[in-house]
């Protein structure tokens, strides 16, 4: 290493290598340069270290903490809103179940007055959707007969179970993929898919309706 190499590397500020140190120990000029360089580097560091506003680091760190808290709060709000939306969606009354309640409250007596159908015929008609003997195992069938419902033909079954009376509306051609619930004016209803069609159950309380639904699905 010569003086030029030594001083060029010194100016690059990469620190003194072993080779540089060996050269410095043998060269009075570069040793003096080394001393001067040390003082220069101190002045350089002091010059670059401009005054940072008081409490800057802490202020920046607190801003990040605040940002994190706001983010978490916003995320929690979004989750809560999504949860509330999901709950509202899940608990939204099923339109068909509501229509079943309306039918039972306003049209059922009229449908019964139209007359029952022979049980043999009822067994035949309902066999593919809800076999009548299955219904008979759940309770006492008081009435089975056709009735107009939602522009289609449904079959009304009035069933007495130990807990009270329930009305079943069997719709062989109304395909459905999921269960729906509704409650209105003291009545509860569930509508569920059943062998390519659907069955609605309306009763005076949700527990009764769900008990019958469970028994029919068993």
Partner 1 sequence: MSFEDTVRAHAADLYRYAYWLTRDHAQAEDVVQEALLRGWRAFPRLRERAAAKAWLFSIVRNEFRRAAGAAGREESLDGVEVPDERADPAGLEMRDALRALPRAYAEPLALQVLGGFSCAEIADMIGATEGATMTRLTRARQALRRLVQPRERKAGPA
* Contact residues for partner 1, defined by CB under 8 A: 3-4, 7-8, 11-14, 29, 33, 40-41, 43-50, 52-53, 56-58, 60-65, 67-68
Min CB(17)–partner 1 separation in Å? 13
Min CB(73)–partner 1 separation in Å? 15
Min CB(90)–partner 1 separation in Å? 32
3-state secondary structure the chain: CCHHHHHHHHHHCCCCCHHHHHHHHHCHHHHHHHHHHHHHHHHHHHHHCCCCCCCHHHHHHHHHHHHHHHHHHHHHHHHHHHHHHHHHHHHCCCHHHHHHHHHHHHCHHHHHHCCCCCHHHHHHHHCCCCCHHHHHHHCEEEEEEEEEECCEEEEEEEEEECCEEEEEEEECCCCCCCCEEEEECCEEEEEEEECCEEEEEEECCHHHHHHHHHHHHC
Min CB(74)–partner 1 separation in Å? 14
CB closer to partner 1 out of 25 and 114? 25
CB closer to partner 1 out of 3 and 84? 3
Contacts of 152 (CB under 8 A, 6+ apart): 171, 173, 174
Min CB(78)–partner 1 separation in Å? 17
CB closer to partner 1 out of 60 and 207? 60
CB closer to partner 1 out of 7 and 184? 7
CB closer to partner 1 out of 42 and 121? 42
- Closest by CA to 197, choosing from 47, 96, 64, is 96
Min CB(77)–partner 1 separation in Å? 19
CB closer to partner 1 out of 45 and 106? 45
């Amino acid at each position: 290493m010569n003086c030029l190499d030594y001083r060029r590397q010194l100016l690059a500020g990469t620190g003194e290598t072993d080779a540089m140190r060996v050269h410095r120990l043998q060269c009075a000029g570069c040793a003096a340069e080394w001393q001067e360089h040390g003082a220069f580097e101190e002045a350089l560091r002091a010059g670059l270290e401009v005054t940072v506003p008081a409490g800057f680091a802490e202020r920046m760190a607190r801003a990040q903490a605040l940002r994190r808290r706001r983010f978490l709060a916003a995320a929690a709000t979004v989750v809560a809103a999504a949860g509330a939306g999901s709950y509202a969606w899940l608990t939204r009354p099923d339109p068909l179940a509501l229509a079943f309640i309306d039918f039972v409250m306003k049209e059922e007596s009229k449908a019964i007055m139209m007359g029952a159908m022979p049980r043999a015929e009822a067994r035949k008609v309902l066999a593919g959707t809800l076999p009548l003997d299955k219904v008979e195992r759940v309770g006492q069938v008081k009435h089975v007969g056709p009735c107009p419902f939602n522009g289609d033909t449904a079959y009304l079954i009035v069933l007495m179970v130990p807990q009270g009376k329930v009305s079943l509306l069997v719709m062989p051609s109304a395909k459905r993929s999921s269960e729906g619930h509704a409650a209105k004016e003291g009545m509860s209803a569930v509508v569920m898919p059943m062998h390519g069609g659907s069955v609605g159950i309306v009763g005076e309380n949700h527990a009764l309706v769900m008990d019958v639904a469970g028994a029919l699905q068993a």
